[in-house]
Amino acid sequence: MMQVTSEEILSGKDLTLYYRTRRGIVKAVDQISFKLKQGKTLAIVGESGSGKSSLANAIYRILPKNVEKYEGEVLLDGVDIMKYDEEEYRKKVRWKKISMVFQGAMNSLNPVLSIGFQIAEPLIIHQGMQKDEALKKAAEALKTVGIHPSYINRYPHQLSGGMKQRIVIAMALVLTPHIVILDEPTSALDVITQANIMNLLKRLKKELKLSYIFITHDLALTSELADTVAVMYAGKIVETSSADVFYRNPKHPYSKGLLESVPALKQKKKINFIPGEPPDLVSPPSGCRFHPRCPYAMEICKKEEPENKEIEGGTTISCWLY
């Protein structure tokens, strides 16, 4: 029988999100394609400002007012949900099939509402559930993330950072979605708490058969959770590799640079940082957007943009070296 676990449940094609600003148009997500398999984790990594949160927001369709361009294809179980209007998206997709833990969400919990009510709220609003029943569900969601159900009566200021992060994960899980987008879910936490949350995410992935899009600027963090790694640079995905291939043998010069800048605790090796800064997305460099920082840059790199190519090992890459 066919293994259902390798099935694609979410994919994007040429997904694009530009913002209008006084300085010009910000090309935050520029024709991005990706695939997420059932029960797997797609890690999206890249420096701050590369467009990771914008990509998440484009998939989850939480858009600011200053959108200049929003287009492409997002297939959920084979159906293009970009064609849904907002109401259909809200009814069929958001929170139920795909949910999201927003970057910094733990710091935007409402200080005057109890934890239980904040978890129950979407059930009352989106499902028309009675308050009592919704609170019962909230208590269950708390248990799922390892918090005693009595915490439904507490308030955010009574909780540690790790607890708050568990709460926002519980919120994302309350309508039992299949796919969870996690945008830097541990970046505000100390190392120990970070490790605890990563363990929680691993456990939930297995127990609830979740598929994750895990977004981080921290490559060291992804290694345990990722099945596939997609590297984002200046609004583009420049390499997508299976995690085991990626960590052993990154192909794109930017991926190599990123991996080399991860501090290796056990090695005495000098850390190499990538020289220069990520570009301004209002006027990104011509050709390959990485060329001003790339140690391998050639003439063609400045002029022509490399296309996405599939190479050996199932890696997809945009680089003239391949």
Ligand X SMILES: Nc1ncnc2c1ncn2[C@@H]1O[C@H](COP(=O)(O)OP(=O)(O)O)[C@@H](O)[C@H]1O
Of 181, 230, 194, 218, the C-alpha closest to 59 is 181
Nearer to ligand SF4, 67 or 296 (CB): 296
Q: Can residue 50 be called a binding residue for ligand X (CB under 6 A)? A: yes
Helix (H) / strand (E) element for 299: namely: helix 299-303
Distance from C-alpha of 248 to C-alpha of 289, rounded to nearest angstrom: 25
Q: Can residue 291 be called a binding residue for ligand SF4 (CB under 6 A)? A: yes
Residue 21 binds which of ligand X, Mg ion, ligand SF4, none (CB < 5-8 A, kind-dependent): ligand X
Part in contact with ligand SF4 (CB under 6 A); list of ranges 48-56, 117-125, 256-264, 293-301: 293-301
Helix (H) / strand (E) element for 76: namely: strand 67-76
What are the backbone dihedrals phi and psi of residue 293, each rounded to the nearest 5 degrees, phi first?
A: -110, 0
Nearer to Mg ion, 52 or 164 (CB): 52
Part in contact with ligand SF4 (CB under 6 A); list of ranges 41-49, 91-99, 265-273, 288-296: 288-296
Q: Can residue 54 be called a binding residue for ligand X (CB under 6 A)? A: yes
Nearer to ligand SF4, 70 or 322 (CB): 322
Residues 6 or more apart from 189 whose CB is under 8 A from it? 161, 162, 165, 197
Part in contact with ligand SF4 (CB under 6 A); list of ranges 9-17, 123-131, 205-213, 295-303: 295-303
The phi-psi region of residue 4 (left if phi > 0; otherwise alpha if psi is between -120 and 50; otherwise beta) is alpha
Q: Two tokens at 166?
A: 């568990």
Q: Can residue 283 be called a binding residue for ligand X (CB under 6 A)? A: no
Q: At what angle do helices 191-207 and 161-173 cross, to 10 degrees?
A: 20
Q: Can residue 53 be called a binding residue for Mg ion (CB under 5 A)? A: yes
User: Coil, strand, or helix at residue 21?
Assistant: strand
Q: Two tokens at 306?
A: 């490399």
Using CB under 6 A as the binding rule, the residues of this chain from 228 to 287 that contact ligand SF4 are: 252-253
Instruction: Give the footprint of ligand X on this chain (CB under 6 A).
Output: 19, 21, 26, 28, 46, 48-54, 64, 66, 281
Instruction: Give the footprint of Mg ion on this chain (CB under 5 A).
Output: 52-53, 103
Instruction: Give the footprint of ligand SF4 on this chain (CB under 6 A).
Output: 252-253, 288, 290-291, 294, 296-298, 301, 306, 319-321
